[in-house]
């Protein structure tokens, strides 16, 4: 009852004032208004940011590093390798002892056996037998210069070598002795022989051992023929062999050096 009477009294007062032209006083501030800054409660402090742990470095690949072996392992490996090498060396030595070394056969030169340069062919496309004296002499001595074609003969070969200063008047092993033309014995182009050995018997005189092919116009091979050569006279005398009976004074053009 008391609360109702007070409210009625207040309403009556308002009506009176409004009738008198007065503005009623402002209503009290709402209780939920913001308090002055000085009286405001301080804002709660922000929580410190959590520390972020740095990312771990990328894992190192196996190909980038090599893990060191223990010292003992290294020593064992080295000792094992040494034993393996020693065993291999012994095996090679054993194989070397079991296999007899064969002397190397030169492709060309006077050391080549006559049989290696002689293969009889009764007739070629040129209508003659082989080997003739020049192919045999070239094979035995290795002199392959001045190849003048199918028309080449002993004298043209010698003339070409002489022009290139590859001839001499003194014989030596491995050289080619060139005989001059001999119409009486039907040798119009001369003849080539291989000097197997040369031993000087006196001033300007040598004892030669020669071999030659086609000495009989049948491409036969004759070896170990003894010939005495006189440098001053440039003459040769066959002391044995197939030509001994008539070849006692043959003119010599000279010797082609190998």
Q: Look at residue 178 and tell me if it is in a domain.
A: yes
**In the predicted structure, residue 162 carries a pLDDT above the cut 50:** yes
Hey, what are 255's tokens? 């010797």
Domain membership flag for residue 2? no
- CA gap 18, 79 in Å, rounded: 122
Asked if pLDDT for residue 74 goes beyond 50, the answer is no
Is the separation of the CB atoms in 148 and 164 below 8 Å? no
Instruction: Kindly state whether residue 5 falls inside one of the protein's structural domains.
Output: no
In a domain, 75, yes or no: no
Could you tell me the pLDDT band of residue 70, with boundaries at 50, 70 and 90? very low
Question: Which residue range(s) make up the domain with 123?
Answer: 114-256
pLDDT confidence of residue 180: 97
**What's the whole-number average pLDDT of the chain?**
74
Would you call 160 helix, strand, or coil by DSSP?
helix
Q: What is the mean pLDDT of residues 18-36?
A: 47
Contact 129, 218 (CB under 8 A): yes
Element (H, E) at 89: helix 71-98
Max CA-CA distance within the chain?
187
Count of the separate structural domains present in the chain: 1
Q: Is residue 77 scored above 90 in pLDDT?
A: no
Does the residue 32 lie in any domain? no
Higher confidence at residue 222 or residue 13?
222
97 in any annotated domain: no
3-state secondary structure of 199: strand
Does the pLDDT value for residue 248 go beyond 70?
Answer: yes
> Is residue 250 situated within a structural domain?
yes
Predicted TM-score (pTM) of this structure? 0.58
Between CA 136 and CA 203 the distance in angstroms is: 31
pLDDT at 154: 95
For residues 197 and 28, give the distance between their C-alpha atoms in angstroms, rounded to a whole number: 151
Q: What is the rounded CA–CA span in Å between residue 155 and residue 171?
A: 17
Is 55 among the domain residues? no
């Amino acid at each position: 009852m008391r609360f109702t009477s007070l409210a009625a009294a207040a309403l009556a007062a308002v009506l009176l004032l409004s009738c008198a032209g007065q503005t009623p006083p402002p209503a009290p501030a709402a209780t939920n208004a913001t308090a002055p800054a000085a009286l405001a409660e301080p804002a709660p402090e922000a929580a410190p940011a959590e520390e972020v742990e740095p990312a771990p470095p990328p894992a190192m690949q196996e190909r980038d590093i090599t893990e060191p072996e223990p010292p003992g392992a290294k020593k064992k490996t080295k000792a094992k390798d040494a034993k393996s090498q020693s065993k291999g060396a012994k095996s090679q030595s054993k194989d070397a002892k079991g296999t007899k070394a064969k002397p190397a056969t030169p492709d060309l030169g006077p050391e080549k056996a006559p049989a290696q340069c002689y293969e009889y062919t009764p007739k070629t496309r040129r209508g003659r037998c082989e080997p003739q004296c020049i192919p045999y002499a070239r094979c035995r001595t290795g002199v392959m210069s001045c190849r003048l074609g199918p028309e080449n003969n002993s004298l043209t070969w010698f003339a070409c070598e002489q022009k290139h200063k590859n001839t001499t008047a003194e014989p030596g092993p491995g050289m080619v002795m060139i005989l001059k033309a001999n119409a009486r014995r039907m040798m119009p182009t001369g003849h080539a022989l291989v000097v197997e050995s040369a031993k000087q018997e006196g001033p300007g005189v040598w004892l030669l051992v020669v071999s030659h092919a086609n000495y009989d116009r049948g491409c036969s091979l004759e070896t170990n023929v003894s010939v005495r050569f006189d440098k001053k006279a440039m003459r040769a005398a066959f002391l044995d062999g197939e030509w001994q009976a008539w070849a006692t004074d043959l003119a010599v053009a000279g010797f082609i050096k190998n």
